[in-house]
Amino acid sequence: MFSRPRTLGRAFSLALALAAVGGLAACGSLPKPGIPFVGKNEKAAKDKAKLKGERISVLSLNKKLEPSAALKGVGFSITPAQPLDAWTMAGGNSAHVVEHVKAGEKLQVAWRRKIGDGDSVEGHLTASPVVADGAIYTMDAHAKISATDVTTGKPLWSVNLAPKGKTARDAFGGGLAIDQGQVFVTSGYRFVAALDAKTGAVRWRTETRTALHGAPNVTGGKLYVVDTVDQLHAFDTAHGTESWTYQALEEPARMAVASSPAADGDIIYAPFASGELTALRAGNGNDAWSYVLSQTNRNNALSEIRDIAGLPALYRGDVLAGSHSGLFAAVDARTGQARWTQPITSVNPPWVSGDVVYITDQSGQVICLSRDAGQAYWIQAMNGTLRKKFRAVWSGPILASDRLIVVSSRGELRALDPHTGEKVGTMHLGAPAYLTPIAADGLIFVLTQTGELIAIR
């Protein structure tokens, strides 16, 4: 095992982050409720570390994304809907690209089940469910793992992995993945574990020094996870032994969540709170390139929070990702050079299908972009003309049975026409939902912030 330390390049106090949130919310976009900030005061380094890639400054020009006049009336193709029998990790698979799944055609509730503790001041629900072999696996806000029958909603087993009597400010969240009969767990309680998918029995458990709020990506016999101090860890899936770590530039002011890397063969594409999107070699953790998804906006102090909180998507030679600082890009997966960028602030994962990329921004807009050039086909404002303080937070989308599905902090699920953005359906969930829905076995699954799992047929 080895580590590749890097110099802390900038000091940024928690006071500034809190000031940005409390005093300048009217100037910018806030992260989703339930996603806390963390920060620390440190002496600024005399020589700031230089990042590979490019920081884009828009101090003199703040662009606003509009639908492209050149694309007005121009059609595009999305891939046909296909059945899917497994959703094995955050984003569906190791590349975080599903394209178009056949599921939830009637938008009717099949069943509901409480899976454990929901969001509260003591813990945050951040783990997306995973599905394989007729079972759906969930993790509540305090590391309780449950298996539920996909068809009936009947509980199969549950196990609580939280250390007894242990509490910590960052001991929440984490994520799940399933591979070859094992459920892999990462946790803010500072551990990685593998469970038997049939019984919930713990096969191995490895303690870590830092909290793990990100979901794992499991591929090629290794588990990859980003921690809360911007380290990427690689663990052997057979025994839980740590193979290597990679230290990105640590951001003192950040959201207390972490994204999940995308993977393609020998290359891992890791997102960090510094805004770095870094390509790493799976064998040893050496970096191939790094691109910085960050821009400075003089009208929005929150642009200093650079987290790539949404999952990066790897599709046809591009890595598509966006940051909280207001930059969304298609980056060449081989060279690390951006093919195009757009001024979009988002903590949601993009959804890619055929000719287009869909992304939901922090103001509640669902945006349809040309995958080739990044121009906007259409922009749908989900909150209409509501004043800012009444706006809902929207999460998603996923593309299921020819509809874009998004969910909101007001407990609404809304279906949009993928070609026009027009509303074609809606349903009331009964509780706020901040996690992007998933789909498998003909069903759409939504996990609400109250800890209720809803299956939609």
Q: Where are the domains of the chain?
A: 14-456
3-state secondary structure of 320: strand
Q: What is the C-alpha end-to-end distance of the chain, expressed in Å?
A: 46
pLDDT of residue 173: 84
Overall average pLDDT of the 208-221 stretch:
95
Q: Per-residue confidence at 1, pLDDT binned at 50, 70, 90? A: very low
| pLDDT above 70 (res 438) | yes
Of 157 and 259, more confident: 157
As a whole number, mean pLDDT of residues 201-221 equals 96
The pTM score is: 0.86
Q: Report the alpha-carbon distance of residue 277 to residue 270 in Å, rounded.
A: 6
Distance CA 342, CA 368 (A): 12
ω before 216 within 30° of 0 (cis)?
Answer: no
Residue 206 has pLDDT above 60, yes or no: yes
Q: Is the pLDDT at 52 greater than 60, yes or no? A: no
Residues in contact with 165: Cβ distance below 8 Å, sequence separation at least 6, in sequence order: none
Neighbours of 452 (CB within 10 A): 18
Q: Return the pLDDT at 28.
A: 43
**Band (11; pLDDT cuts 50, 70, 90):** very low
Q: What is the pLDDT of residue 27?
A: 41
What is the band of 294 on the pLDDT scale with cuts at 50, 70, 90?
Answer: confident
Q: Is the pLDDT of residue 175 over 70?
A: yes
Q: What is the pLDDT of residue 21?
A: 38
Task: Name the pLDDT band for 12 (thresholds 50, 70, 90).
Answer: very low
Q: Residue 390, SS3?
A: helix
User: Is residue 255 very low, low, confident or very high in pLDDT (cuts 50, 70, 90)?
Assistant: low
Is it the case that residue 79 has pLDDT exceeding 70? Answer: yes
206 or 170: which carries more pLDDT confidence? Answer: 206
- Please tell me the predicted confidence (pLDDT) of residue 122: 80
pLDDT tens-place string over residues 107-136: 999 999 999 999 988 888 999 999 999 999
Instruction: Give the span between the Cα atoms of 211 and 186, in whole angstroms.
Output: 9
Instruction: Tell me what pLDDT residue 388 has.
Output: 60
Contact 117, 447 (CB under 8 A): no
pLDDT band at 77 (very low <50, low <70, confident <90, very high): very high
Mean pLDDT of 239-256: 84
The CA distance from 71 to 376, in Å, is: 8
Q: Which of 212, 302, 298, 296 is nearest to 261 (CA)?
A: 212
Of residues 258 and 431, the one with the higher pLDDT is 431
Q: Does domain 14-456 have CATH number 1.10.10.10?
A: no
Higher-scoring residue by pLDDT: 357, 33: 357
Taking only the tens place, the pLDDT of each residue in 336-349 is: 999 999 999 999 99
